[in-house]
A and B are shown apart, each in its own frame.
Chain A
Amino acid sequence: MSAVLELSGLTKAYPGVIANDDVSLTIQPGEVHALLGENGAGKSTLVKMIYGLVKPDAGRMIFLGQEFAPAEPRAARAAGVAMVFQHFSLFEALDVAENIALGMEHPPNMRDLAARITEVSQAYGLPLDPSRLVGDLSAGERQRVEIIRCLLQNPKLLIMDEPTSVLTPQEVGILFQTLEKLRSEGTSILYISHKLEEIRRLCDAATILRLGKNVGTCDPKVETARAMAEMMVGATLHVPERKPHERTQVALELRGLSLAAPSAFGTSLKEVSLNVHRGEILGIGGVAGNGQDELTAALSGEMPVAAGQLWFEGQDIGALGPNERRALGLLAAPEERLGHAAAPDMSLTENAVLTATTRKSLTRKGFVNWRAAEGYTKEVIAQFDVRTPGPHTAARALSGGNLQKYVIGREILQDPDVLVVNQPTWGVDAAAAAAIRQALLDLAAGGAAIIVISQDLDELMEISDRFAALNEGRLTPPVPASGLSVEKIGLMMGGAHDLEPVHV
């Protein structure tokens, strides 16, 4: 049987960087083909070329035996290529059927479309009600809308970009069943991910990209996760090591924290209680949008908290602002690096002034001491191996991993008593992620209390002492992390309801 898609010598250069350099790969019919690589390895550019969003500078593509050069996504879709993006393009104020109709060239009338949606969703085990508002759907359900939108086109090749990053373990299970059914029908799937265990479970072949080049193809069922990770990074991977430490007194405590959502599509926090001890890492899991940002804001001081709900070493600090909390020793690093944790157009030095003013005495009588700020910035750059031309570089010019190392380093070197980090390694390459996790472990070993909010369960299991999950603004009671099963975690994350696959 001939290949579904054959890429040979694809090259795409952007100013200053070669995103894809002579990449070739072949996808067979009914094959789930993994595309592996760190951030910036060129995965996105490659699939954008297949989907007609980017034109290659050189190389050729053969799709179903024919020369293939889609000028735009519409042409790619017409040929039989469909793609589910990592970031959904859905209108929250419209219902499921309306959202799907919007993406179609010639939408049928709404009643027929709704019937088709129900039919497809049942055939592939993806429960979805066509009349529900997208704004009310969970991330997993929204992804189903995108998948069904693709399946209605009967694609020969389905491209999925990091599909499991927003799902609970149970939802991942359902998704995999759907993908396996598609495979058995002969649909090929190009599956982009950096979660190696998933790839080993699902995929038949894997192509690994590093710095824009194809560095090898392997059978993920045979290869170990570690071997694939090392192919991705091109170096031996450093696994964070945990030093034994003792849990001592409680550093931070939440007593029934309730907080109204700041915006219409935000999440209210309901009766959140937790405590975290010095020397301990508390991991908080959960699917995005279940109150992570609100909890971070309540802890950092961006959103004030009612009296008696937030205690720092026996002191009620709910009314204090961010800098007053910093003065006490409670620091935070929000999820969104550009625009929240750092100002994109400002230099790294200016971004040091953003949070380190209080503890590093970067001002005197209201005047900024730029020399001290630059000195501190250089210290962060050196100690956290931030790759940048220097402290004058604008934050937005750094890669995601480097900026994240800078943001985490900026807080850690202020010697916090309590550190709250939200998604510390989101979109960060494996080497940088390992370095950040090691830094968090070292900080805890030094006696600080740390709260890590993350969607990456592997990460939380690797570094947390105790684990709790956020679900619709509620927090489960924290339990010891060691020996916690995936099923138990899934239940804690609230993945239990509405998630039975539809059996046909």
Chain B
Amino acid sequence: MITLEKRPEPSRFWSWATPVLAVLLTMVAGGAMFAALGKDPVEAIRTIFWDPLFGEFAFYYRGQLLVKAGPLILIAIGLSMGFRAGIWNIGAEGQYIIGAICGAALGLAFYPFDSFIVFPLMVLAGALGGFLWAMIPGILRVKFNTNEILVSLLLVYVAEFILASMALGALKNPDGAGFPGSRNFRSYPSGFNEEIIAGTGLHWGVVAAFIAVIFAYVLFARHQMGFQIKLAGQAPRAARFGGVNPSRLILFCLGMSGALAGLAGLFEVSGPAGQVSIDFNVGYGFTAIIVAFLGRLHPVGILLAGLLLALTYIGGEAAQSSLGLPAAAIQAFQGMLLFFLLAVDVLTNFRFRFGKREVV
């Protein structure tokens, strides 16, 4: 008989080992899925995890790695603050879109004014847009005790409609011959989020992500706010006893995650995507939830998890084109990662005991 037994203290070893185990299990189960789809599982896994880094076209893919990982890390860092406190912002995708629209709109309003000040102002507008969009679930929760999971999630769809309306209406490129989508920032250097070192994929958004990692690390390890976030998530009653103001914490966590998601959106729309289009968003806001948990809500973990998930994006695309794997299979593969992570997470707080004990 196998029984689960609660550990007296959470295991340090397993809290780091479970993500690795989850990745391995995902490879096994994903391989089985690819085999069931009639593909060679070993080749599929190699195409996803190995080729982008060390294969023939690695020079191209490596740059993509940072481009994809940047927004994932930036958003996941913000989400991890709320998740640690038990505040569930599921709508980062919406904040990402609104941040992108606000930042891009400000930049486009300056067009063709040429100054170094334009891009920093866009960055601020992007953060502010995401922040305000996240304040909607925040204020509703604080004032009326609504559920922030539902409100933030539903606001994603509102944001998508606003995006469509902007791409087709207010922000449409006046010189675009009627095609949907805004002016391309590549043709407006003052507002363009350029690669800092050519060929590496390193743009300002990636720099912001690294800064966010360091900021979050300091916040969690040393600052009182980080302590209060952890406390509120683990023991809400103890937090109130300790003088934590729950409303302030909710607004802080939602505001920070919204602002970081908004920043990610702005960096994306003004750089890799280049323009506000109907579908420039590719679900980073949702994938970042996986990144946050895969990284154990720890800043360094999130950094690594963001790179890993970026790899599955790039590798998945490569597998789609070279092996003909359906896109849905790649999404299922990413989903498996979260699934296995949550499943093996039980090992952190519990241990297995094997064998039935003798009863006289």
- Specify the chain A residue showing the minimal Cβ separation from B245: A321
Assuming the contacts A69-B359, A302-B240, A350-B227, asked whether A368 and B222 have C-beta atoms less than 8 A apart, the reply is yes
Which of B9, B222, B241, B360 contacts A354, CB < 8 Å?
B241
Segment touching B, from A229-237, A268-276, A393-401, A489-497: A393-401
Q: B247 to nearest A CB, angstroms?
A: 12
Q: B227 to nearest A CB, angstroms?
A: 6
Which of B8, B9, B241 contacts A334, CB < 8 Å?
B241
A173 within 8 Å of B (CB atoms): no
Q: A292 to nearest B CB, angstroms?
A: 15
Segment touching A, from B80-88, B149-157, B230-238, B280-288: B230-238
Residues of A within 8 A of B245 (CB): 321
Q: How many residues of A contact B (CB 8 A)?
A: 41
Q: Is the CB of B358 within 8 A of A57?
A: yes
Which residues 213-255 of B sit at the A interface, judged by CB distance below 8 A?
A: 222-225, 227, 230-231, 234-235, 237-243, 245
Q: Is the CB of A354 within 8 A of B231?
A: yes
Q: Is the CB of B241 within 8 A of A300?
A: yes
Complex: how many Å from CA A324 to CA B231?
19
Complex: how many Å from CA A339 to CA B233?
11
Q: Is the CB of B9 within 8 A of A394?
A: yes
Assuming the contacts A57-B357, A322-B243, asked whether A344 and B227 have C-beta atoms less than 8 A apart, the reply is no
Assuming the contacts A56-B359, A60-B360, A323-B243, asked whether A343 and B227 have C-beta atoms less than 8 A apart, the reply is no
Q: Is the CB of B238 within 8 A of A340?
A: yes
Assuming the contacts A300-B241, A366-B224, asked whether A56 and B360 have C-beta atoms less than 8 A apart, the reply is yes
Q: Is the CB of A302 within 8 A of B241?
A: yes
Q: B201 to nearest A CB, angstroms?
A: 34
Complex: how many Å from CA A223 to CA B9?
42
Assuming the contacts A354-B242, A363-B224, A393-B9, asked whether A343 and B235 have C-beta atoms less than 8 A apart, the reply is yes
A183 within 8 Å of B (CB atoms): no
Residues of B within 8 A of A394 (CB): 8-10
Residues of A within 8 A of B223 (CB): 366-368
Q: Is the CB of A344 within 8 A of B360?
A: no
How many A-B pairs with Cβ below 8 Å? 86
Complex: how many Å from CA A320 to CA B8?
37
Q: Is the CB of B9 within 8 A of A397?
A: yes
Q: Is the CB of B360 within 8 A of A343?
A: no
Assuming the contacts A57-B357, A350-B227, asked whether A344 and B242 have C-beta atoms less than 8 A apart, the reply is no
Which of A69, A323, A339, A366 contacts B238, CB < 8 Å?
A339
Assuming the contacts A55-B357, A55-B359, A321-B243, asked whether A339 and B10 have C-beta atoms less than 8 A apart, the reply is no
A480 within 8 Å of B (CB atoms): no
- Specify the chain A residue showing the minimal Cβ separation from B357: A57
Q: Is the CB of B231 within 8 A of A343?
A: yes
Assuming the contacts A339-B235, A368-B227, asked whether A322 and B357 have C-beta atoms less than 8 A apart, the reply is no
Complex: how many Å from CA A411 to CA B43?
62
Q: Is the CB of A355 within 8 A of B241?
A: yes
Q: A321 to nearest B CB, angstroms?
A: 6
- Specify the chain A residue showing the minimal Cβ separation from B349: A345
- Specify the chain A residue showing the minimal Cβ separation from B238: A343
Residues of B within 8 A of A321 (CB): 243, 245
Residues of B within 8 A of A15 (CB): 5
Q: Is the CB of A301 within 8 A of B227?
A: no
Complex: how many Å from CA A15 to CA B357?
12
Closest 5 CB pairs of A and B: A323-B243, A343-B235, A322-B243, A354-B242, A340-B237
Q: A355-B241, A394-B8 are in contact. List 16 more A-B contacts (CB 8 A).
A: A55-B357, A59-B360, A323-B242, A334-B241, A340-B241, A344-B235, A345-B234, A346-B230, A350-B227, A353-B227, A363-B224, A367-B222, A368-B223, A370-B222, A393-B9, A397-B8
Q: List 29 A-B contacts (CB under 8 A).
A: A56-B360, A57-B358, A57-B359, A60-B360, A322-B240, A322-B241, A326-B243, A336-B237, A339-B237, A339-B238, A340-B238, A341-B241, A342-B235, A345-B10, A345-B234, A345-B235, A346-B230, A346-B231, A346-B234, A350-B231, A354-B238, A366-B223, A366-B225, A367-B223, A370-B222, A394-B8, A394-B9, A394-B10, A397-B9
B interface residues (Cβ-Cβ under 8 A, vs A): 5, 8-10, 222-225, 227, 230-231, 234-235, 237-243, 245, 357-360
